[in-house]
């Protein structure tokens, strides 16, 4: 039973406080088929839901994990999907669920048709160095918007034309974003540039788009880690989920205090 349903039953008087307390404890973990342990209570505890890692799951395991979260929480987010996982998503569509797939076909959101996104007021900027980084940016955008934030995205502002980065920084300031995710896959300098221009946290997301010696995101990652621009945080190569969740937590917390909610 979802937290909202529990609270509704308590308010209606059909569920005692003691029983509600017991069921709240059970919300924390849910076991499926004796193999998967879904952290169904994570969103209530942490502010963001569990994200299903699809990469190493069989088709059946992925389906079970998605179904478990959708049935208990109304929504499931899955990442790093493989081509063979797509047929699972088609099955959920046939069953009447809403299914959204990122342009990269690696991140998917499955939810009940009546599931409502609660807008937090958080504002997240996303910038990419090149068009090759857009698929990763799209994954970040999909997750961040699903978790209630507004997104402001600008592409192709790599430092080969540094004036573009300056223009993008101005746009982020105008939009009053709470955090920026800066995505780059060659020399990885864009996040450092953005961190030097903005008064909000910048999350550096290296991508595996680089090539040759130091390619595959390795140079980009090391460049970001060695940055001398304070306020730059870095996630691993292609870690769109890590960047999206961190950005969401920062933006949602900022929005909470902007509206004067200190609870």
**CATH number of the structural domain spanning residue 161:** 3.40.50.1970
State which residues form the domain around 127: 123-258
Spatial CB neighbours of 189, under 8 Å, sequence gap ≥ 6: 159, 223
Which of 52, 79, 111 terminates a domain? The answer is 111
Angle between helices 190-197 and 218-225 (to 10 degrees): 30
Establish if 263 belongs to a structural domain.
no
Angle between helices 134-146 and 240-258 (to 10 degrees): 40
Compute CA 233 distance to the chain's CA centroid, rounded to the nearest angstrom.
Answer: 16
Instruction: Mark whether 212 and 180 lie in a shared domain.
Output: yes
Per-residue pLDDT, 72: 82
Per-residue pLDDT, 20: 81
Percent of the chain with pLDDT strictly greater than 90: 72
Instruction: Mark whether 11 and 96 lie in a shared domain.
Output: yes
- The pTM score is 0.83
Tracing tokens 């980065």 back to the chain, one arrives at 165
Instruction: Mark whether 160 and 94 lie in a shared domain.
Output: no
Establish if 118 belongs to a structural domain.
no
Instruction: Mark whether 127 and 9 lie in a shared domain.
Output: no
Per-residue pLDDT, 33: 46
Angle between helices 17-27 and 3-12 (to 10 degrees): 180
Establish if 116 belongs to a structural domain.
no
Per-residue pLDDT, 149: 96
Between CA 24 and CA 138, with CA 255 as vertex, the angle to 5 degrees is: 90
Which of 111, 141, 175 terminates a domain? The answer is 111
- Give the other-Cβ count within 10 Å of 150's Cβ: 18
Instruction: Mark whether 62 and 150 lie in a shared domain.
Output: no
Which of 85, 111, 137 terminates a domain? The answer is 111
> For residues 195 and 230, is the Cβ–Cβ distance under 8 A?
yes
Instruction: Mark whether 163 and 188 lie in a shared domain.
Output: yes
Instruction: Mark whether 92 and 151 lie in a shared domain.
Output: no
Question: Which residues of the chain carry a pLDDT beneath 70?
Answer: 1-3, 24-45, 262-263
- The conformation of residue 83, written as its DSSP 8-state character, comes to G
Instruction: Mark whether 236 and 131 lie in a shared domain.
Output: yes
Q: How far apart are the first and last CA of the chain?
A: 25
Considering only CA atoms, which of 51, 47, 101 is closest in space to residue 77? 51
Q: Provide the domain count of the chain.
A: 2
Query: In this structure, what is the dihedral angle of CA atoms 219, 78, 46, 14, given to the nearest 10 degrees?
Result: 180
């Amino acid at each position: 039973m979802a937290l909202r349903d529990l609270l509704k039953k308590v308010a209606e008087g059909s569920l005692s406080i003691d029983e509600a307390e017991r069921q709240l404890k059970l919300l924390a973990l849910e076991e499926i088929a004796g193999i998967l342990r879904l952290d169904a209570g994570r969103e209530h505890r942490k502010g963001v839901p569990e994200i299903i890692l699809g990469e190493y799951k069989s088709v059946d395991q992925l389906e079970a994990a998605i179904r478990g979260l959708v049935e208990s929480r109304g929504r499931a987010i899955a990442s790093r999907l493989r081509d063979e996982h797509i047929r699972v998503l088609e099955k959920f569509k046939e069953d009447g669920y809403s299914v959204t797939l990122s342009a990269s076909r690696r991140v998917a959101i499955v939810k009940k048709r009546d599931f409502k996104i609660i807008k937090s007021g958080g504002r997240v900027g996303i910038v990419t160095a090149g068009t090759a980084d857009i698929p990763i940016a799209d994954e970040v955008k999909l997750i961040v918007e699903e978790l209630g934030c507004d997104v402001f995205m600008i592409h192709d502002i790599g430092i080969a034309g540094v004036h573009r980065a300056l223009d993008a920084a101005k746009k982020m300031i105008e939009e009053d974003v709470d955090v920026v995710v800066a995505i780059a896959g060659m020399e990885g300098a864009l996040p450092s540039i953005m961190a030097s221009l903005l008064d909000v946290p910048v999350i550096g997301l290296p991508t595996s788009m680089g090539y040759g010696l130091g390619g595959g995101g390795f140079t980009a990652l090391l460049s970001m880690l060695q940055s001398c621009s304070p306020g730059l945080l870095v996630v691993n190569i292609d870690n769109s989920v890590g960047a999206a969740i961190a950005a969401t937590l920062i933006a949602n917390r900022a929005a909470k205090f902007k509206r004067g909610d200190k609870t």
